[in-house]
Amino acid sequence: MPKTKKVPMRMCVGCREMKPKKELLRVVKPQEGDARIDFTGKAAGRGAYVCRSPECLKRAQKTKALERALEAQISADVFGALEAQMADG
C-alpha cells in the first residue's frame, strides 16, 4: 500500500475556510519593510493567506483581517497587486 502525501492546509483570512496551500496567495510582512506578495510561499516573515477570489480579498480588506493577521498596516499597492494577480489567474 503506497503512502499518500499529506497536503498542507491553510486558512483564508477572507472566508476563513481551510484550503490547500497551493490554492491560496500568501502575503508576507518581513521584520524590516512593507507587506508584499510571496510568490514562493517560503519568504521569511509573518504570513497570511487569501483565496484567489476577489470576494475573499474584498472581505479581508473590509474587515481588516489581513492587517490583523500580519499585525501591520497594508498599503493600497499590496491590495492592488493582489487584485492584479487574481485577474491574471
* d(C-alpha 4, C-alpha 51), whole Å: 25
Domain boundaries, the chain: 9-88
pLDDT in tens, 29-73: 999 988 999 999 999 999 999 999 999 999 999 999 999 999 999
pTM for the whole thing? 0.88
- Lookup: cell for 60: 479581508
Q: pLDDT class for 11, splitting at 50, 70, 90? A: very high
Does domain 9-88 correspond to CATH entry 3.30.1950.10?
A: no
SS3 letters across the chain = CCCCCCCCEEEECCCCCEEEHHHEEEEEECCCCCCEEECCCCCCCEEEEEECCHHHHHHHHHCCHHHHHHCCCCCHHHHHHHHHHHHHC
